[in-house]
Amino acid sequence: MPDNIQGEQKLPELEADPQPPTERADRSAAEVGERVPQAAAQHEEERVPKVAAQPEPEEVAAPAVLGIAGPAGEEVRRVAPAERKRMNRRELLKLVPVVALGAFAIPKLREPLLNDGLHLSDWASGKLFGRARLAQTFRDSDVVPFERFPYNFYDVIDPGVDLERWTLTVEGLVQHPGEYKLSQIQALPKVTQNTRHVCVEGWDVIGSFGGTRASDFLRLIGADTSARFLEAECADGYYESIDMETMLHPQTLFCYEMYGKPLDRGHGAPLRLQMPTKIGYKQAKYLDTIRVTNVLRADKRGYWEDQGYSWYGGL
């Protein structure tokens, strides 16, 4: 059910060329309510041949770690080494044999145990995530050629968006809701980054992406960054929701370019999410509407998540 925001007045739309600004979601198991995943053939990724595995690239220096405040002025949550030591991935993996044994040995326990496993994974991923922890970036020479970057789609590869008349609808817990043109998003500082795109089907590629930091745009629209989620609806009927902490991560982009050129239709033109800290199905394309909220609609947490996939989708 959508949020019911009372007493909020709709402010006038911003001008077409706004001045550029400078720049958690703990989900309870009950809210996530995930079901058993469907067959592997129902993945969100495209029905295209797998890309040949690339040689492991040489690691390059990551950008500077954020200071006390993040790019949108938000507080940066840092996890102390002692906290990470108490709850790390190795400790969590010790639970896997127990879950697997119960799930496959006792049919009546199979579904609830698998659901609990997904809930645990989402909870742990959220606890281990930090805005100061950056995904690896790569040199231009490590980037796969554009023609070898697969097209991902769940239904149609091109929903026929009218690129000339397209606007992004902004709703929810924001001071400036309304319709935003692509030029308004492009007026914000542009970021380009070479990062790895990881598909749930097992392949990954390093690509080049350009766009606006999501944190910059959220600041422009006066979003309540203490809210828990951002919901996204797409022109092809796809839908997704992302924790606010990921949206404020400095590598999360409202992406309008790939390889230095405007996003093409197959890759989500005119605007998509690009989040190197998330699995591919979280990175919604053909963005149409975004909504800042504290409550996710029960039947629309995410297209694949509503069919049993992990909601958090972190890497």
Tokens representing residue 37 in the block: 């995943």
- Please give the residue that has the higher pLDDT: either 134 or 130: 134
Considering the entire predicted model, what is its pTM? 0.62
Q: How many CB atoms lie within 10 A of CB 66?
A: 18
Domain segments of the chain: what residues?
A: 66-133, 136-315
> What type of residue sits at position 116?
D
- Check residue 107 and give its pLDDT: 58
Q: Model confidence over 226-245: pLDDT tens digits?
A: 999 999 999 999 999 999 99
Q: What distance, in Å, lies between the first and last C-alpha atoms of the chain?
A: 29
pLDDT of the residue at 242: 97
Q: 60 vs 21, 134, 194, CA distance in Å?
A: 29, 12, 11
| Mean pLDDT score across all residues of the chain | 74
Q: Which CATH architecture has domain 136-315?
A: Alpha-Beta Complex (3.90)
Predicted confidence (pLDDT) per residue in 14-57, tens digit:
444 444 443 334 444 344 344 434 433 344 444 444 444 444 44
- Six-digit token pair at 74? 């938000």
Residues 160-169, mean pLDDT to the nearest whole number? 97
